[in-house]
């Protein structure tokens, strides 16, 4: 019986997560330390990718992809006319939705607190003394 | 996909095996889930190719529905790992690639980080009939959520089972109808 083998954390999700340990003012971005990464195939939708780009922190996405070794030739700076470049959008699609972290942890940049990722699910719950 | 098809589909979703009283766990019924999702999908176009958050996703009935309707990505948030385990089983059985889940306390989410990120928030949160404090927190979150979580928030309230749609830009609660 297969349990929890299907879950993972996409980099789009990572882009939203922040540490809220008590006293921490700068809990973003969380540093990814991955012990297991998986690549998957997701249908490409240029409009969705194009709309997500302004919503995300671009440098955080680049850093995360780089940390995982899947930056490839994604540019570190956002090109001004990205909406019209399918080639570019496909690269963004790949890192946003197709690179998945199965195991590892997310580290708060300020407190150093590590939030484990188990079977693709990041656990952001704090202990009582951290709240 | 027709609403009835969606409802049939959601009937296949596995639900809580041992619902936890303290967390007020109960599954969103397939009929009402289908009503909710179908309305926001068809009437407001807020599901397909959108970034959706499911707060208190539990076993994932709403997330599965959103994913099946073509959400770009649906992120389910829940505090309980047992619920998330069932949710993952559902994701696998439905062979869905557009759902992520995060284990966390939604009351502890940082608003600024989420403002304007998600297009839509869907939820059927614990109503708090047993724990007023939880209810207060969730009412607070729900109120805040309507303001800073994208453009649309749909909340299903337990007693009357009436879907409430709160739009950020209009800032008015309107009943979508009784399911």
A109-113, B42-46, B74-78 — which is least confidently predicted? B42-46
Q: What is the mean pLDDT of residues B134-156?
A: 40
pLDDT digits (tens, 9 = 90+) for B3-21: 999 999 999 999 998 999 8
Coil, strand or helix: which one is A128? helix
Chain B contact set for A20 (CB, 8 A) = 108-110
Tell me the count of A-B CB pairs closer than 8 A: 87
Q: Cβ of A126 and B85 within 8 Å?
A: no
CB A115 within 8 A of CB A18: no
Tell me: pLDDT of B159 over 50. no
Q: How far is CA A43 from CA B49, B69, B97, B117, in A?
A: 11, 14, 9, 21
Does any CB of chain A come closer than 8 Å to the CB of residue B63?
no
Give DSSP secondary structure letters for B140-165: HHHHHHHHHSSSEEEEEETTTTEEEE
Q: Cβ of B100 and A8 within 8 Å?
A: yes
Enumerate residues 28 to 47 of chain B having a beta carbon within 8 A of any beta carbon in chain A.
Answer: none
pLDDT digits (tens, 9 = 90+) for B77-86: 999 999 999 9
What end-to-end distance do the CA atoms of chain A give, in Å?
Answer: 37
Tell me: pLDDT of B165 over 60. no
Please tell me the distance in Å from A75's CA to the nearest CA on chain B. 22
**Which residue of chain A has the CA closest to B114?**
A16
Chain B contact set for A124 (CB, 8 A) = 102-105, 108
Does any CB of chain B come closer than 8 Å to the CB of residue A10?
yes
The pTM (predicted TM-score) of the whole model is 0.84
pLDDT band at B118 (very low <50, low <70, confident <90, very high): confident
CB B119 within 8 A of CB B40: no
Residue entry with tokens 């007020």 = B24
Chain A contact set for B101 (CB, 8 A) = 7, 120-121
Instruction: Find, among A46, A16, A2, A25, the residue nearest to A106 by Cα.
Output: A16
Chain A contact set for B105 (CB, 8 A) = 124-126
Q: What per-residue confidence (pLDDT) applies to B164? A: 47
Tell me: pLDDT of B163 over 90. no
Low-confidence ranges of chain A (pLDDT < 50): 1-5
Does the interface predicted TM-score (ipTM) exceed 0.95? no
pLDDT band at B125 (very low <50, low <70, confident <90, very high): low
Q: Cβ of B85 and A131 within 8 Å?
A: no
- The runs of H, that is alpha helices, within chain A are 11-14, 46-52, 58-67, 86-93
């Amino acid at each position: 019986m297969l349990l929890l083998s299907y879950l993972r954390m996409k980099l789009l999700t990572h882009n939203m997560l922040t540490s809220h340990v008590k006293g921490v003012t700068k809990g973003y971005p969380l540093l990814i330390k991955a012990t297991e990464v998986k690549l998957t195939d997701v249908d490409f939708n240029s409009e969705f990718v194009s709309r997500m780009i302004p919503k995300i922190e671009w440098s955080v996405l680049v850093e995360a992809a780089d940390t995982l070794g899947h930056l490839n030739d994604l540019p570190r700076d956002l090109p001004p006319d990205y909406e019209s470049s399918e080639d570019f959008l496909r690269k963004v699609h790949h890192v946003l939705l197709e690179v998945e972290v199965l195991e590892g942890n997310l580290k708060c940049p300020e407190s150093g607190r590590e939030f484990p990722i188990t079977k693709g699910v990041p656990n952001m719950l704090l202990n009582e003394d951290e709240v | 996909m027709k609403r009835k098809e969606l409802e049939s589909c959601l009937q296949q979703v596995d639900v809580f095996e041992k619902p936890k009283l303290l967390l007020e766990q109960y599954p969103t019924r397939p009929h009402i889930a289908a009503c909710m999702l179908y309305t926001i999908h068809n009437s407001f176009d807020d599901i397909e190719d959108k970034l959706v958050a499911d707060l208190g996703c539990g076993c994932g009935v709403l997330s599965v529905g959103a994913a099946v309707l073509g959400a770009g990505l649906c992120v389910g948030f829940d505090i309980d790992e047992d619920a998330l385990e069932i949710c993952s089983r559902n994701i696998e059985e439905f062979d869905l690639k557009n759902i992520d889940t995060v284990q966390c306390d939604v009351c502890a989410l940082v608003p600024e980080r989420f403002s304007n990120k998600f297009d839509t928030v869907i939820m059927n949160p614990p109503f708090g009939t047993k724990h007023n404090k939880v209810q207060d927190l969730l009412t607070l979150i729900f109120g805040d959520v309507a303001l800073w979580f994208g453009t649309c928030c749909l909340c299903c309230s337990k007693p009357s089972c009436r879907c409430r749609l709160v739009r950020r830009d209009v800032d008015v609660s309107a009943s979508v109808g009784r399911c």
